[in-house]
Chains A and B, each alone.
Chain A
Amino acid sequence: MTAYHLMGDGIIYQEMDDEIVVINLETGTYYQLNAPAAWIWKAIESQIPLEMMPAWFCARYNADPGDLVSPLESFLFQLQQEDLIAPSPVENEVKPSSFQEMDRLPYQPPALNKFSDMQDLLLLDPIHEVDESGWPNKA
């Protein structure tokens, strides 16, 4: 089975109002995940295998698991393209019966909104030399 893990270094996130704000400290790019996307993010956090994600998703949203395969794979691909997640081996067995039952919400597709307007806050790292006084010098 296939699972994913959240990329550690340089990626921070905070949940709020059932959504998640993610910031990439290396690139200055930040994201807002809508509630369904945040639910999938939690699945990744919990190391839920890809094969069980439809069941995980349907524990929260009113949808047919068979209809979720394509949007889930597309969303996970998007997260990978943004270097937010990466594939990893399944370490712990997870059973769908362990997914907590709850009142299900109307289906919405997961969405990742990307923002790149803060990238200019990050200085490019042009330093290649340190002079004899200890000050870094630009190349």
Chain B
Amino acid sequence: MDLPAPLPDKSGSPAAAYFAQSYQKFLGACALNSAWPQRCFQMPQGVLRLVFAHSELLPLLTSALEHRVLAEGTPASLTVLCWDCHDSSFGLPPAPWQHDQMGKENHISHYSDGRYQMIYQTVDSSFSMLDEESGLALFCLRDHTRIPYYETASPLRYILNWWTSRQDLCMVHGAAIGVNEQGVLMVGRGGSGKSTTALTCLLSGMDYAGDDYVLAGTAGIPEIHSLYNTAKLSPHSLGMLSRFDTRLETVNGIDQEKAVVFLHKSVPERVRWSFKLKAIILPEITTHPISRLTLVPSVSALRAMAPSTVLQLPGSAPTILKKLGWLAASVPCYSLEIGLDWPSIPDLIQHVIENHPEV
């Protein structure tokens, strides 16, 4: 199989050495198997190619991206080599960094520079590395049988985020729904009602581009692009959606805090690649009898989306914050007080989409 190799790096940096050593570990893991499945996806950033040393990893890391699948062998802008090191022979090389070099969320800032980005996630024992100049990334799991549901729902999110750093794109923590190739971005802290609102709109017949992370264009005409076709639902919300479609496939059981649904499998016609952004909405669950939309300053939208985005996606925080500032200033922003009449919310949102002037 034709595998890309890292471009030479004569800097002698620890990051370069560690990347090269880890790449050799991936090759070692590949040698244990006779076939290395691949998938290609048309992402907003370019063509993404995933290569797996073990076939067991493939469904875990590709189901959420399946709505963007391309023919195998499509020339790729970024290739991600994926393996797990259940067999410790091909685990990661011994880490050269010390405890005090690990940043918050274990972003290894010491080994992140213009070319390399690296992050350890101790909670799910995953390691992500990007060599931007080579167009090559590495993703290693300690044990794929213990992959957490959120990694399957939003796979490779650190690598995909770093991939946007030199483009007019920005990953955003938010949900996006729309109609007729136009839509809104919903932002706010966890529990603000983004997922519930997105689900309600989906059930009413609107289109869907994501409920946790989406990609925003940050130049020219504002656009929202879907990354993952997953929805993370509470048991109550899952019950609502089950009435809509009984073919739902969940990653984990409904007795978990959240169930993950692959919407591409059940309602593929509703999962959109992208749409023009008409407004940013800040939902808030209330006990008011009537739901209400109110125009708010752009700074409110920036405050709603920036902290959860930059704190959950380490790397290039100042650049991300600047891009989010552009985004918040590019379209009208509304607060949405979700009242007891929540079935009326899709009409409210549709009114915003269809009646706002072109941006």
A122 and B104 in contact, given A16-B329, A25-B311, A133-B85 (Cβ under 8 angstroms): yes
Residue of B whose beta carbon sits closest to that of A32: B303
Chain B contact residue count (CB 8 A cutoff): 38
Count of chain A residues near B, Cβ 8 A: 31
Residue of A nearest to B22 (CB): A134
A121 to B120 Cα, complex, angstroms: 15
Assembled-state Cα–Cα distance A33/B92 (Å): 44
- Given A16-B298, A121-B311, is A23 in contact with B104 using a C-beta cutoff of 8 Å? no
Q: Which of A67-75, A88-96, A123-131 contacts B (4 or more CB under 8 A)?
A: A123-131
Q: B123, B310, B324: which contacts A25 (Cβ < 8 A)?
A: B310
* CB-based contact B307/A130 at 8 Å: no
Contacts of B311 in A (CB 8 A): 23, 25, 28, 118, 121-122
B125 interface neighbour in A25, A132, A135, Cβ under 8 Å: A135
Taking a contact as CB atoms closer than 8 A, the residue among B94, B105, B299, B302 that contacts A123 in the complex is B105
Select from chain A the residue with minimum beta-carbon distance to B107: A25
Are the C-beta atoms of B99 and A128 separated by less than 8 Å? yes
Q: Does B71 contact A (CB under 8 A)?
A: no
Which residues of the other chain, A, contact B339 by a CB distance below 8 angstroms? none
Q: Is A115 an interface residue when CB atoms closer than 8 A count as contact?
A: yes
Residue in chain B with minimal CB distance to A30? B307
In the complex, what's the smallest C-beta–C-beta distance from A50 to chain B, in angstroms? 27
Point out the residues of chain B lying under 8 angstroms from A118, CB to CB: 189, 307-308, 311
Complex-state Cα separation, A54 to B102, whole angstroms: 42
A25 in contact with B104 (CB, 8 Å): yes
Stretch binding the partner chain, chosen from B230-238, B273-281, B314-322, B341-349: B314-322
**B308 touching A14, Cβ below 8 Å:** no
- Given contacts A19-B299, A130-B94, A122 and B310 within 8 Å (CB-CB): no
A136 within 8 A of B: yes
Which residues of A (5-59) have their CB < 8 Å from a CB of B?
Answer: 12-17, 19, 21, 23, 25-26, 28, 30, 32
- Asked if A23 and B105 sit within 8 Å, CB to CB, the answer is no
Chain B residue numbers with a CB within 8 Å of A126 are 122
Interface bits B77-101 vs A (CB < 8 Å: 1, else 0): 0000000010010011111000100
Contact with A along B270-297 (1 / 0, CB 8 A): 0000000000000000000000000001
Smallest CB gap from A34: residue in B: B299
CB distance from A36 to the nearest CB of B (A): 14
B interface residues with partner A (beta carbon < 8 Å): 85, 88, 91-95, 99, 102, 104-106, 120, 122-123, 125, 142, 189, 297-299, 302-303, 306-308, 310-312, 314, 317-318, 321-322, 324-325, 328-329
Given contacts A21-B306, A115-B307, A123-B104, 7 further A-B contacts (CB under 8 A): A12-B318, A12-B321, A14-B322, A16-B325, A17-B298, A127-B106, A134-B95
Q: List 12 A-B contacts (CB under 8 A).
A: A14-B306, A14-B322, A17-B299, A25-B311, A32-B303, A118-B307, A123-B123, A130-B94, A130-B95, A135-B125, A136-B102, A136-B106
